[in-house]
Amino acid sequence: MEIERLLKAINNKLDNLTNIVTTGVDTMENYKYILGQINALEATKQEISNLLDNKEQKENEGTVIDIGDNKPNNKLKDWCKNQKKEVTKEKQNYQTNRLENVSFTI
């Protein structure tokens, strides 16, 4: 199932980021950036779990046909797009802050 592959990829990324944080990070900004990534991935996992739970509950209630845009897969796709935008904004802010903190001496 594709969702299982997605969750496996998220867990692998979380393990890698956790390993980086525990072995040491060179700057506080980098540390905060990695923590932001970890928080975003954890939130993603939770949202996937919630969407899957809602789907299972609907399946257990009987025959329900939903032909609208409120299908869990569409909600998940929209939510993932929003998370990607947030991470991109966070990364841009991080890079901007790094550039603002650079000073040049002649």
Asked if residue 10 belongs to a domain, the reply is yes
- CB neighbourhood size of 33 (10 A): 21
Give how far the C-alpha of residue 52 lies from the chain's centroid of Cα atoms, to the nearest Å. Answer: 16
Asked if residue 65 belongs to a domain, the reply is yes
The residue range of the domain holding 53 is: 2-100
Asked if residue 63 belongs to a domain, the reply is yes
Q: What does the pLDDT read at residue 57? A: 62
Asked if residue 49 belongs to a domain, the reply is yes
Q: What does the pLDDT read at residue 59? A: 59
Please write the tens of the pLDDT for every residue from 15-65.
999 999 999 888 899 999 999 999 999 999 999 988 888 766 665 655 555
What backbone torsions phi and psi does residue 32 show, to the nearest 5 degrees?
-65, -40
Q: What does the pLDDT read at residue 64? A: 58
Q: What does the pLDDT read at residue 67? A: 56
Asked if residue 69 belongs to a domain, the reply is yes
Q: What does the pLDDT read at residue 36? A: 93
Q: Looking at residues 55-80, what average pLDDT do you find?
A: 62
Asked if residue 105 belongs to a domain, the reply is no
Token pair 């393990």 is at which residue?
15
- What tokens appear for 60 in the block? 């257990």
Asked if residue 106 belongs to a domain, the reply is no
How many domains, in total, are found in the chain?
Answer: 1
